[in-house]
Amino acid sequence: MIISRRIEIDMGHRIPNHKSKCRNLHGHRYVIYVYVEGEENKVEGSSDEGMVLDYGDLKQIMIEEIHNRYDHSCILYKKDEASIAFKIISDKFKLKTYLLDFIPTAELLAKHFWELIEDRLKDKGFKLHSVVIHETPNCKAIYENK
């Protein structure tokens, strides 16, 4: 069985080498789905009997690892020259800005979010199936580690 949970975050970014307007600093309302694979819990009388994973437990992991870190932040590629200048301004005004080791495309963010939550799920005995990010209502990226 596969279950999923959704969260949303607002986040700014820039794609430095993009041929069009995405090279400008801009933001999105990202919709993030995490899919977890497993069997139903058959322990009679347990709180999560009949569930693969309690949705609330999955939400807590997503909130702690993704939402609390990145909501209302700006993420930039650390090798982008503009990000260096922006980070100086961010530090001065205490803005929530992160410099990443990768260009913050939807595809690479899906992989990054996977890496943030995979161990937390493994520690609880669950298998992460996929992470899906909608950057806009019409555009999404899916990361599956097969």
Catalytic residues: 22, 72, 135
- Closest-CA residue to 136 (of 3, 11, 2, 35): 11
- Residues facing residue 8 across a β-bridge: 31
Reading the block at residue 74, the tokens are 């700006």
* φ, ψ for residue 14, nearest 5 deg: -150, 140
Q: What's the rounded Cα separation, in Å, for the pair 39 and 106?
A: 30
Asked if 26 and 12 touch (Cβ cutoff 8 Å), the reply is yes
- Closest-CA residue to 78 (of 98, 96, 99): 99
* φ, ψ for residue 137, nearest 5 deg: -60, -20
